[in-house]
Structures are given as structure tokens and as C-alpha cells.
Amino acid sequence: MEEKKERIEIELRSDEFQEIVQQSPRWMIRSGISLIFGILILLLAGSYFFRYPDVINTSIVVLSENPPAYLAARTTARIDSLMTEDQQLVSENQIIAILESTANFEDAMKLKELLRQLEPFMLSFDTLTAITPDFGLQLGDIQSDYSSFVRLYNDYFSFLRLKLHPKKIKSLKQQIAMNRIYYDRLWAQKQDMEADLRIVNSQFRRDSLLQLKGVLSDLDIEKSKGLLLQKKFNTNGARTKLAETQGTIIKLEQDVVDAEMEFADQKKKAQNSLIEAMNVLKSRLAYWEQTFIIRSPIVGKVSFTNFYNKNQQVKKDEIVFAVIPEKQSQIIGRISLPLKGAGKVAEGQKVNIRFDNFPYMEYGFLNGTVKSISLMPNNENYVVEVQLPQDMKTNYNIPLKFSQEMKGSAEIITEELRLIQRFFNPVRSMLKHRVLTSE
């Protein structure tokens, strides 16, 4: 083995081998340098023409501007009735399903109609517009509120029917009328008494003159004076009765005012209690409807989210139905963009969209454009709206079938960069940073 190693070393040190190693062919060196230089030129040229844009990758949801209305159960209950079928066209506010409750649905609808018919009466309290409530309604949890309303309703009409205050007012007015007649008679009597008093007073003055002349005795003048005093007393008594009667009339008139005010006050209180009871009843009925009746808020086609049947239980907040708008509006994409890097996104930028339910390699991607960006973030995300081609054709010229809330990934192209710019941007940034720090 040692002899073999020595032989190899001798061969490596031979003059012929050293000549070959030390003197490489010049054409080989020139060719190698040219090849390397050519490769560098090709790389630089390729990096200039090859585009490598700056992108932000995020998720996207595509829907129409009028999205589907998702209807959730507001309570855990069994389905009492299904009023529509899957894929059926429904109108706005149409009942889709009724959930089981303690109230009878037909009776609840009767109550709703009853309250509607009572509106004119509750606005004016004109008894001509009043109707008779139905006492046989089975309303479950609403029953106590309905009973309170019916009781107050009947109490109000009993209050009007008894007419206690109107009767009292009528009686007081009759007393006022009688006292005024009495007052008028007293006034006439007073006038007569005052006339009689004037006559007696004149007679007394004449008698006094005759008494001074000695024609009449002292007894005669005393009789004349006594008659005058009696007439004055009677006249003053008539005046007192007249004043008392006038005071009675004023008091009776005040009693009428008090009775009318009391009647108006009690009537107003009864009306307010009735209005309050009706508002409570309306509120309870509306809550019952919202809880146990599922209605369509829009015109469209109803879609069952599961195979639902009567008596099947649904859970609270479970999405049971979706109503797809009948008229498809403009298709848009919505992106929840995180705060980081959001400043690079601007209106008009291109967006490449790949859908989860359409494999990218087979269908291609959809081209969109940033239409708008929300002014303020919500939950640390900006909402970006993306405008899409309405024919939903991809870059492979394949039209995609639109369905609501199509999910996928979005690639927002924030800047069209060349590959060479990718290489030189970090160097430029580093040099700029050094210049700034040196200054």
C-alpha cells in the first residue's frame, strides 16, 4: 500500500502533469467568463422584464349588494306549522313558519286584528267607533295582559254608562236654575219693599212737620216712626236674602266646575290607563310574534337550511331559513383587511380571486378591482369592497355560477414591481438609511 501511494505522489509531481495544471487553455478561460457574463446579463434582463408584484393575501366573501336574509329561531321550540315549502317564492312579511307556544296562533291573529280595529276609538274615544272585545281568546302568556285591557275597557264604558258625574252636574245646574228664579222673585220683592219704604219715609217726614206745628200728637209721630223702622227692617231682610241666594248660586256654579273637572280628570285617567294597557298588550303581542313567528323580511325565494318537518325542534339562534332576493343586484366582494399593511391598499388596485368551490387549476381566477375602503376600522379590520365582472368569467374565460356568500382567497396587487426592483429596493433602503444616520 505504501509503495502504491509513493508511486501516485511521484506521478503528481511529474513535469508533464504540472505543465497541464499550470497552463490551462486560454479559450477555455474566455469561454467560461463569457458564459458567466452571459448568464448574468440574461438574469438581469429577465429580472427587468419579469414582474413580481407586491401583494396582500387575504380572504374574501362574494355576494350581491342585496344579500340573502338569514332567519334564525329566537327561542328553542318545536315547529308547529310550516307555511311554505323549500324553494318557494315568498312575499315581504309572509309567514314562513310558526313555532310552538302556549298561545293559539289563530287567537293571536284575532287579537292583532282586534287591536287594529280599536285604533280609531283609541285615538278619538268616540263611542260610535267602539267594538266589543272577544272574551274567548286563548293567548297563553299574553292572557293576563289581555284580561287587564278588557277589564279597563269595560270599566271605561261602565264609567260612561253610569253617568254619575253628568247626573251630579245636571242636578247642580237645576239647583242653580231654581235659585236664579228665587233670586229674581226676591229682587222683585225688594224693589216693592224699597218703593213702600220710600212712601213710608215721605209720610214720616210730613208727619214730623205736622207734629212740629202741633197738629199731630207725640203718639201719632211715634206710630209713624215705628212703621218706617218696620219697613226698613223688612227691606234689609229682603236684601240679605237676595245676597244669600246670590252666594248660593255662586257656590253651586263652582260645584258644577269642580264636578266637570273631576269628571274630565277621571275620564282622562281612565283613557290613559286604557292606552297604557293597550300599548303593553301591543308590545307583548309584538314580542310573541317576533319570538314564535318567522316571517320573510324581503321578496325572494325561501331556502331551508335543513330538512325541517312539523314538530321538529329548533334551537335558539339557529339559522333555519334563508330568503334569496328575487332580483339579483350587483355582485360585489367584501374583504376584512387587517390593520397591518392596510395603508398600501388603494381604490382601483387589481384583485385576483380564487374560490374555494372552484379549483384554481381547473377554473382559473377572477379579476376584480378595489372599489372602496371603509374610513374607520371595525374590530381592527377595514372593510374593502371589490368590484367584480357581472358575468363572473375567469381568466380562463370560464363563467362561474354565482351563489350567495361564495368564499375564497384574494390577492390584492398593491404595487406592480419588477423582479430587479425587488433586488435593489432593500439595497436602496439601506443606503438611504445610512445617509440619514450619517447626517
Q: What is the pLDDT along the chain (439 residues), one digit of tens a residue?
A: 555 555 555 454 555 545 555 555 565 556 666 667 667 666 555 544 555 567 788 888 888 777 788 888 898 888 888 888 888 888 888 998 989 888 888 989 998 988 888 888 888 877 777 777 777 888 888 888 988 988 888 888 888 887 787 788 788 788 888 888 887 887 888 788 778 878 877 877 877 777 777 677 777 777 877 887 888 888 888 888 888 888 888 888 888 888 788 888 888 888 888 889 999 999 999 999 999 999 998 888 888 888 888 888 888 888 888 888 877 678 888 888 888 877 788 888 888 888 888 888 888 888 888 888 888 888 888 888 888 887 888 888 888 888 778 888 888 887 765 555 555 555 555 655 555 455 5
Domain shared by 270 and 343, yes or no: no
* Domain stop point among 231, 265, 292: 292
Neighbouring-strand partners of residue 70:
322
Helix 419-438 vs helix 26-49: crossing angle, to nearest 10? 90
Which CATH number does the domain housing residue 411 bear? Answer: 2.40.30.170
349 plus 255 within the same structural domain: no
170 within domain boundaries: yes
Do residues 83 and 99 make contact, with C-beta atoms less than 8 angstroms apart?
A: no
CA 386, CA 347: separation in Å to the nearest integer? 9
Cβ 259 vs Cβ 169: under 8 Å: yes
Instruction: Determine the pLDDT at residue 252.
Output: 82
Check whether residue 127 and residue 62 sit in a common domain.
Answer: no
Residue 322 belongs to a domain: no
Query: Distance between CA atoms of 322 and 100, rounded to whole angstroms?
Result: 20
Task: Copy the grid coordinates of residue 242.
Answer: 237676595
- Note whether residue 312 is domain-resident: no
**C-alpha separations of 348 from 62, 64, 233, 263, 392 in Å:** 18, 20, 112, 73, 19
Q: Give percent helix, percent strand, percent coil of the chain, each to the nearest 5.
A: 55, 20, 25
- Cβ–Cβ < 8 Å for 319, 376: no
Extract the C-alpha cell encoding 304.
331551508
Cell of 122: 283609541
Q: Please give the pLDDT value at position 25.
A: 58
Kindly state whether residue 338 falls inside one of the protein's structural domains: yes
Question: Are residues 155 and 223 located together in one domain of the fold?
Answer: yes
Are 296 and 92 in contact, with CB atoms under 8 Å apart? Answer: yes
Tell whether 72 is covered by a domain.
no
For residues 8 and 59, state if they share a domain: no
If asked whether residues 108 and 190 sit together in one domain, one would say: yes
Q: Is position 392 within any domain?
A: yes
CA dist., res. 54 & res. 425, Å (int): 12
Query: How many domains does the chain divide into?
Result: 3
- What CATH number has the domain bearing residue 211? 1.10.287.1490
Predicted pLDDT at 103: 87
9 and 148 in a single domain? The answer is no
Same domain, 7 and 124: no
Pairing of strands 54-64, 89-90: unpaired
Both 143 and 283 in one domain: the answer is yes
362 Cβ contact partners less than 8 Å away, ≥ 6 residues apart = none
| 374, 383 Cβ separation under 8 angstroms | yes
Helices 105-124 and 218-292, interaxial angle, to 10°? 150
Residue 400 domain-assigned (yes or no) = yes
Please give the C-alpha separations between residue 241 and each of 145, 179, 232, 244, in angstroms, as whole numbers: 58, 11, 14, 5
- Is residue 21 located within the same domain as residue 106? no
0.85 surpassed by pTM: no
Residue 364: which of 339, 400, 340 has the closest Cα?
Answer: 400
Name which of 368, 371, 367 is nearest 346 in CA terms.
Answer: 371
| Domain-located, residue 317 | no
Q: Are residues 261 and 373 in the same domain?
A: no
Beta strands in 281-318 (DSSP E): 293-295, 300-304, 313-314
Q: Which residue has the cell 299574553?
A: 142
Domain range for 20: 2-49
Q: Does one domain contain both 338 and 278?
A: no
Q: Write the DSSP symbol of residue 294.
A: E
Q: What pLDDT score was predicted for residue 280?
A: 92
